A and B are shown apart, each in its own frame.
Chain A
């Protein structure tokens, strides 16, 4: 495939400071762009609001994990010590929620933690080892000290020239196309 046929993934605009990036993000949010993102070496405080992002849904994954863990622990201990092979210990009831609590508590945390990590990865569609941006030569700076805004060509509001001009007017020091 030759250079000329390669599809454009989007426009990448470089910024020097978090404040400049945030100002630009607020504008893009208000202009109603959909398929765009901000890239930064650390989570910028307040950027979620500047981009108009909703509260993350990771909590639900963790909650489901935790609830599963607690139920699993209680049911497992009841089944093992009271149903499948009842054991008498000190003449006490076969199943007691009190002595079953500590392992169930630990399983709540264990599966809740798996829910948080894997929920985060699922929502972010990671791992994804190939991404058009990772091939862009300046993009490595996004993990160093630079800030980037990328508007994808798939955005309904994307227009090659107008969007480039817009990004430049928002204070970007350098706007370049990113190939697919």
Chain B
């Protein structure tokens, strides 16, 4: 039977009351309207311009890949001793970017950070498209691309299977699992929001397509119960997944014997760097989106500030890792290790090292200041610099070590060719083409989740219809 007699819940004093996550006390329906509007209005001109540029750049990427395939990896700046050039730098960079999406969707969910609801959908989309860009590079890097299936657990012409002691093999499993699980998680979150779009659809095509992908979602509480459990489990699975993916990527380096790569700090250092660069990209994307799409009440300045704080924290971890690397190189007493780090800072690639230090360690320290975190333009510029810095970090790791390994007879200097540069820029085209399509046709905000964190959605809150004293019973 009914258990509750009136339970008196004291109302907190106004100075302790929580700032609502959705600004201006917007009603539940407003959230649907504000988000769905983006894909219901006439396509804005800025969208067409951005899409045109991105699409052209994507075609450039495909043309570069075709040129590479038809000619060979010699069109890149690769050559002895630097056989891992921009392709691997870009691979690690793009996949690192994806990590913030999973951190927001999974780890912040487990930590009950309710502000994540405003940013998780776009961040997860970013993850998926970033992993797509990342996945291109190892495949086209193998040289004879028609033999890329050797990466898969299939027997080759001599009936030999791939050998699983190689971290490169682990990487195949890590990255493909990461992509698949990110898509599943993203789609799971999309189901109720696709139902919102279906219920609002005015044209037959929209009704059919959104209806098809919404799978007949009704918002039944019996369904929500299973849905929330599945969401929790996916968050629980994605958390160790995201930590393992960049750890395994770092093992591609750390398991080798080269000075500068063969270190145990790599897994945590890579994961922190990945989340740092990912938050940089989330800010780079979301600050324009909140303006262009009129979502300032959902992605508030407070959300941006919180993301700046995560960037500051992870940037500081990365800075600590840089310091620790140098210390361990000195402390190891190993002349090769010592030389590797001296060479990074003062060798032929000194400029890359100091760009990395400036962008990743020094610049994020500005986020200590509230004034900086509150200024959207400044935050956006700093977030772009974070991305630049993290790209240079990967460049420093990959290139400086390979260019100067043990024997001076094996030394060399690496520089990219125009094909390297155009391929890399082309992946931005790919990324933004998909991102713009996502913005135009799918809900950029997790509508149902944002509704769930408003006070009017809480049955124990007066705005949710609770009686005096804050209890529904």
Residues from chain B with a CB closer than 8 A to the CB of A37 are: 220-222
Interface membership of B149, Cβ < 8 A: no
CB distance from A45 to the nearest CB of B (A): 7
Q: Are A102 and B174 in contact (CB under 8 A)?
A: yes
A117 to B143, CA, bound (A): 37
Q: Are A117 and B458 in contact (CB under 8 A)?
A: no
Residues from chain B with a CB closer than 8 A to the CB of A107 are: 173, 177
Least CB separation from A126: chain B residue: B215
Mark the stretch among B13-21, B282-290, B446-454 that contacts chain A: B446-454
A87 to B251, CA, bound (A): 21
Mark the stretch among B75-83, B299-307, B373-381, B460-468 that contacts chain A: B460-468
CB distance from A81 to the nearest CB of B (A): 6
A77 to B164, CA, bound (A): 7
Q: Are B233 and A58 in contact (CB under 8 A)?
A: yes
CB distance from A94 to the nearest CB of B (A): 10
Interface membership of A154, Cβ < 8 A: no
A46 to B192, CA, bound (A): 19
A161 to B43, CA, bound (A): 50
Interface membership of B320, Cβ < 8 A: no
CB distance from A60 to the nearest CB of B (A): 10
Given contacts A84-B161, A102-B170, A117-B230, contact A41 B472 (CB under 8 A): no
Report how many A-B pairs have Cβ atoms within 8 Å: 240
Interface membership of B348, Cβ < 8 A: no
Mark the stretch among A1-9, A21-29, A162-170 that contacts chain B: A21-29
Residues from chain B with a CB closer than 8 A to the CB of A66 are: 237
Interface residues of A in 129-150 (CB under 8 A from B): 129-131, 133-134, 139-145
Q: Are B215 and A110 in contact (CB under 8 A)?
A: no
- Interface size for A (C-beta < 8 A) is 79
CB distance from B185 to the nearest CB of A (A): 7
Interface membership of A121, Cβ < 8 A: yes
Q: Are A48 and B221 in contact (CB under 8 A)?
A: yes
A120 to B185, CA, bound (A): 12
A143 to B174, CA, bound (A): 36
Interface residues of A in 72-119 (CB under 8 A from B): 73, 76-77, 80-81, 84-85, 87, 89-90, 92, 96, 99-100, 102-103, 105-107, 109-110, 112-114, 116-117, 119
Q: Which of A41, A44, A66 has the most CB of B within 10 A?
A: A41
Residues from chain B with a CB closer than 8 A to the CB of A175 are: none
Which of A22, A58, A105 has a CB less than 8 Å from the CB of B230?
A: A58
Q: Are A120 and B28 in contact (CB under 8 A)?
A: no
Q: Are B165 and A92 in contact (CB under 8 A)?
A: yes
Interface membership of B294, Cβ < 8 A: no
Q: Are A117 and B459 in contact (CB under 8 A)?
A: no
Mark the stretch among B48-56, B124-132, B193-201 that contacts chain A: B193-201
Interface residues in chain B, defined as those with a beta carbon under 8 Å from any beta carbon in chain A: 1-2, 27-29, 32, 153, 155, 159-165, 167, 169-170, 173-174, 177, 180-181, 184-185, 187-188, 192, 195-196, 198-200, 211-212, 215-230, 233-234, 237-238, 240-241, 244, 248, 251, 448-449, 451-452, 456-460, 464-467, 472-473
Enumerate 18 A-B pairs (CB-CB under 8 Å) in ascending A order: A17-B464, A40-B219, A41-B28, A43-B452, A45-B458, A81-B165, A85-B161, A109-B241, A113-B234, A121-B215, A124-B223, A126-B217, A129-B216, A134-B216, A143-B196, A143-B219, A145-B27, A145-B28
